[in-house]
Structure formats: structure tokens, C-alpha cells
Structure 1
Amino acid sequence: MNTRLTRTLASVTFVLAVLCGLAFVGTAVTHMLDDGAVCVQTDFWRNASIGEGLPIGKGVKASSSATRLCQDGPSTGQRAADLGGELPWLLFGSLALLLFSRLLKAVLRQGPFTDTVSRRLSVLGWFVALGAPLAGLVVGWSQSWLVGSMAPVVGSGPTVSGPMVLILAGLAAVIWGKIMRDGVRMREDLEGTI
């Protein structure tokens, strides 16, 4: 096992987790203090044009294809919903990197095949498997609500956005953690009988 590489990787992932956390806080603060327009991209009216009488709210500017809507002087709710399109993935990334960094530190301290490492791998797996769709749902709901606040249309409900393949990666980590935990117990039983 290359401890120098593992130590470097643990340090890099911790620094990236901190940077994602700082980006999360910085984006939230600067965006809420910003007094500019809020824009959202939608594919709901992909084949429509503004001349067809689409129900666009007061103060909303739309692109000619009606796929980009911008609200000058947005409400606090609209500004918060706009943040809901960015912040969930920053928070998810920061926490996932932090959990991965803790996993690598446990590998450095105790070795790769220990009960602590298998538990931390399972925790990381569950976090990724459940956190990815949750973050995607928050992003989808926020964007859907923002579009609805600018151009109310029945049927433009929330969606789930983002890389949902992360669910499979998270479940694979959970399974691998379980396999490792069983292997650790078998090794301890074997050492106890010898």
C-alpha cells in the first residue's frame, strides 16, 4: 500500500471539501445580497415562441424561443429558488469529499481491511446513494418553482436533475463496505482460533 499517495489523496480531498464548503457559503451570501435579475433555463416551451401568447409574468423577459426567462427585481422567494439550483450540489460535493477524506485517513491509521474503514465506506455509500437524488430533487423543484413564478403553466412540475448514476456508485460502495465488514469478521474469527 502506497501511504504517501493515500496521504496526499486524503489531504487533497479534504482541501477540496473545504473549498466546496467555502464556495457554498460564498455563493449563498453573494447571491442573496445581489440585486440583479434572476434567470432560469427551461425546456418546457422548447417548440414555442413569444408571439404565441405564452403566459409570462409581469417584469419577466423571455428569449425569443421562450426557453430562458429572466425576472428583473426578483422576490426573495425567487432569489432563494435560484440558489436552490446551485447550492445543493455544492453542499453534496463538499460533504461527500469530507466523508471520503475521513475514509482515507482511517485507511492510513488502521489499514484498509478494518471495521472502521468498512463502516466509513458504507456511510459514504449511503450518503452518495441517498444524497444524489435528494440534491437532484431540490434542484429540480427549485427550478420548476422559479419557472412557475415567472410563467405559471399547469403541468410544468418538478424534475430530478443531476448525475443519477451516482446512486449506483453509492450502492456499490455500500455493498463493498458490507463485503469488507464480513471479511474483517472472518479474519478476526480465524485469528481467534489459531
Structure 2
Amino acid sequence: MTEDRKMLEPMATVVSVALRILLGLLTVGVVVSIVRGSWGGSFVCITDESTTSSVTPLPAATEIGAQVDSIPRYCAEEPGAYLRFLDELTGLPSTLLLISSLFLLHRLLQGAAREGVYTMRTAARFRLLGWWLLVGSLVVEITEANARAALLAELAKSVDFTAWAWLEQDMWTFPSLAVLIGLGLLSFARITRAGTSMREDLEGVV
């Protein structure tokens, strides 16, 4: 499968190196947090982007016609375990999705280099990675949005946490790029499967 291995470069090498670097950074972060005895920094902060008001700046601070907005930012100086957990939950799922997606992509490329691009296993790995990105990106975005909404409700008296707070407070952004990549990978899975069937048919004729 030398030709297939050549076709997958330099992507296979880049993914392998990136995966090792991210795993190394994650391990170092966990070790440092354990040594320090706490997760995150000294402060836990959240910005309420749904509440924006205009302020009157100093005359020399802005150009003519410019406007300055004030967006409230709430911080807890001595956050407890629950606030730290919510703070970690606002970003950690994205990191885990990135690392797990790179792992699946690394496994796909390694398998394709070893067994060949046009195989049923490669098609199955394309399909797995596609669904993982498609569903995982939506789950991660909703999870992080809920964590941000819950954190804001803990720090701001004027905000209550509800089942739809993450939508009402503009905490959620549709992961359009990840969804498009996931759909593209599912299409590649079908193409690879069709190519594999054609290849098997040709080999049977020959």
C-alpha cells in the first residue's frame, strides 16, 4: 500500500504530530492543576453578552461617529468547586472533542495507509468520524452554552437559569463549520464505499 501511504502525506504526519502535542499539553495542564491543588485561575468570570448598553466616552477617546458599548462581566474572586466546575465546562468539552476527533482521524489515516484507501473499513472510519463531528459538535456547543448560562445565573442576581436560558442569553453559536465537515465526511464515506464496490467488481472481472 505504498501508493496509498504517499497519497495521505503530509496530512497523516501533521495529524499525528498535532495529536501528540495536544495530548502532551493536556497532560501537563492536568499535572499542574493537581500540583497547585485547584483547577483554573484565581478568578472565574463570565460575560453577559445579551445585556449591552451605550456609554458616553471622553471626547478624545473615540473618532467622530463612533460609539462605545458597555457589556457587563461578572467575576468571582474566590470561586468554590461548583463555580470552577462550571467554568471548566465552558471550554473543556471543545478541547476533548478536538482531541478525540484528531484521534479518529489519525486512526483513519493510519488504517488507510496500511490497508488501502478504497476498503470497507476506511469507509466505516469516514462514517464514524463524520457522525462524531456532526453530533459531537452540537452536543458540545449546547453543553458549553448551558454551563455559561448556569455560571452567569450563579454570579448575576438579575439572571435566572432556565432550560432555554442558553438560547435567550445568546450563549449558543451554531457550529456550522464542524457540521459541514461532518456532512462532508459522511459523503466521503459513501464515495469510498462505492469506489470499493467498483474495485471489487473490476477485480472479479479480471
> Any gaps of 5 or more consecutive residues in structure 2?
56-68
Change (3 A) 1:26 1:136: farther
Give the match for residue 20 of structure 2.
18
Q: Specify the SS of the correspondent of 2:45.
A: strand
* Equivalenced residues, count: 180
What's the offset of the Cα at 1:148?
A: 0.6
Deviation (angstroms), 1:20: 2.4
1:7-28 deviations in whole A, cap 9, x for unaligned? 5532331232233234445445
Q: Please name the residue that 1:167 is paired with.
A: 179
| Aligned equivalent of 1:3 | 5
Cα 1:11–1:188, aligned 2, differ >3 Å: closer, same or farther?
same
Question: Residue deviations 1:68-94, cap 9 Å, x none?
Answer: 111111121110111011211110110
Deviations 1:156-185 (A, max 9, x none): 811433633211210121122022112212
RMSD: 2.7
- Unaligned runs of 5+ residues in structure 1 are 50-63
Distance (Å, rounded) in 2 between the aligned partners of 1:46 and 1:134? 28
Tell me the SS of whatever aligns to 2:74: strand
Task: Tell me the SS of whatever aligns to 1:165.
Answer: helix
Q: Which residue is equivalent to 1:184?
A: 196
Q: Distance in 2 between matches of 1:39 and 1:21?
A: 26
Aligned to 2:51: 45
Partner residue of 2:130?
125
- Aligned-pair identity in percent equals 25
Change (3 A) 1:144 1:48: farther
Of the three residues 78, 87, 94, the one matched with 1:89 is: 94
Matches within 5 A, 1:66-81: 66-81=71-86
| Structure 1 residue 33, shift from structure 2 partner | 3.9
**Larger CA deviation: 22-31 vs 99-108:** 22-31
Q: Residue deviations 1:135-157, cap 9 Å, x none? A: 11111111111111001414781
Give distance in 2, aligned partners of 1:69 and 1:130: 31
**What letter is aligned with 2:186?**
V
| 1:157 and 2:159 are equivalent in the alignment | no
Letter of the structure 2 residue corresponding to residue 134 of structure 1:
V
